[in-house]
Homo-oligomer: A and B are copies of this chain.
Amino acid sequence: MAEPATEEAAVACPYSNDELVDVYRKMLEARRFEERSAQAYTQAKIGGYCHLYIGQEASGAGFLSALRPNWDYVITAYRDHAAPLFMGSPPGPLMAELFGKATGVSGGKGGSMHLYDAKRGFMGGWGIVGGQIPIAIGLAFAAKYRNEDRVTICFIGDGAAPIGAFHESLNLAGILDLPIVFVIENNAWAMGTALKYTNSTPDLHMYGEGYNIEHRPVDGMDLFAVKRCADDAVAKARAGKPQLIESITYRYRGHSMADAGQYRTKEEVQEWRERDPVEWLAGYLKEHGILTEDELGQINDDVREAMKAAVEFADQSPLPGAEELYKNVYV
């Protein structure tokens, strides 16, 4: 397990004050967006699978804050609500997608698992475990092919590391010196299966050894540690050295809205909740005089309003028309 944030590390904040406030706002947005999603799911406004990222925000926000907006690429699996928000996607069309509406980012065709915002570099949103990893190296390959200094970040679950596509992609990235950062978000569980039944090694970053790829763990609950690690990894990747990071984190909720998560103890969940990255950051901002209580309250209100508006937008948007059925596919 990665070192917990030390006092000293916490002091050496890798963000400017403005940046930090921005990250806070985005983490809060993601949190509130997903709380709203959960609510809408229980009201049957959202169907299918719905996987929440709640608890893991420091990992995603930390990594993505190290990227160049509208330039670098990001790709992930089905637990994909937070990433586009971190990248600046407006919440309305994301929520509308979860509601299956015509105004959704994917026109209502993708749903919760298949969000995309290609013009911001967010390339989805994929449902087959491991399936996004070969695609990710393709994004990186295209950048290299065109001599563009774009980096790709690819998120991978601990449960996805055992699948063949992961290995093939690491090897290809290593051979071709692709500008990519593979981030295994080790949240201890693959659905209801604990790590020891899915991976032969407890240290998932160790996979890097087999490919001569730099690898290291990071405490994924510690925003600052993540950001420092991401800055370093992204810079190295941009220079053509693929990186493998294991971000150790935790999801508070079940695997999806359909899972009560009874395979783990209340204590286990509580332990992680005590390190909640959103609350921690609020505390940090106040403690360090970056934001006052009032300003924090204002952000909270703004975000609450924005998410309420997103739900209203989704609610009031029309369903996709029948003529959409055969559009955007060669049949």
Q: A171-B200, A175-B199, A206-B209 are in contact. List 12 more A-B contacts (CB 8 A).
A: A162-B171, A162-B172, A163-B164, A164-B165, A167-B168, A174-B200, A174-B201, A175-B197, A200-B212, A206-B210, A208-B210, A209-B210
Q: Verify if A224 is at the interface (C-beta below 8 Å from B).
A: no
Q: A residues bordering B, Cβ < 8 Å?
A: 162-168, 170-175, 196-201, 206-213
Copies of this chain, count: 2
Chain B residue numbers with a CB within 8 Å of A170 are 200
CA–CA, A207 to B213, complex, Å? 12
Interface of A is mostly: helix
A207 touches which one: B173, B175, B199, B210 (CB < 8 A)?
A: B210
- Decide: A168 and B175 in contact? CB cutoff 8 A: no
> A167, A198, A199, A201 — which one has the most chain B CB atoms within 10 A of its CB?
A167
The CA-CA distance from A201 to B211 in the complex, in Å, is 5
CB pair A168–B174 under 8 Å, yes or no, is: no
CB neighbours of A168 from chain B (8 A): 162-164, 167
Residues of B with C-beta under 8 A to A174: 200-201
Measured CB to CB, the nearest residue on chain B to A176 is B200
A164 vs B130: C-alpha distance when bound (angstroms) = 11
Show 11 residue pairs from A and B whose CB-CB distance is below 8 angstroms, ordered by the A residue: A162-B167, A162-B171, A162-B172, A163-B164, A164-B167, A164-B168, A166-B167, A171-B199, A200-B212, A207-B210, A209-B210
Residues on the B chain within 8 Å of A171, using CB? 162, 199-200
Question: A168 CA to B172 CA in the complex, in Å?
Answer: 17
Given the interface pairs A164-B163, A168-B164, the reply to whether A201 lies near B197 with Cβ below 8 Å is: no
- Residues of chain B within 8 A (CB-CB) of A164 are 163-168
A161 to chain B, nearest CB (A): 8
Task: Name the contact of A200 in the complex, choosing from B166, B197, B201, B213 (C-beta under 8 A).
Answer: B213
Listed from nearest, the 9 A-B pairs whose CB atoms lie closest are A164-B164, A174-B200, A167-B167, A209-B209, A207-B210, A200-B211, A201-B212, A210-B210, A162-B171
- Write out the residue numbers on chain B whose beta carbons fall within 8 Å of the beta carbon of A162: 167-168, 171-172
A20 and B170 alpha carbons, distance in the complex (Å): 43
Residue among A165, A171, A206 with most chain B CB within 10 A: A171
A42 vs chain B, min Cβ distance (A): 36
Closest Cβ neighbor of A202 among chain B residues: B212
Quick one: closest B residue to A242, CB to CB?
A: B200
Residues of B within 8 A of A198 (CB): 175
CB distance from A168 to the nearest CB of B (A): 5
Measured CB to CB, the nearest residue on chain B to A134 is B164
Q: How far is the CA of A308 from the CA of B319 in the complex (A)?
A: 77
- List chain B residues, Cβ under 8 A from A209: 206, 209-210
B200 to A175, Cβ gap below 8 A? yes
Complex Cα–Cα for A165 and B164 (A): 6
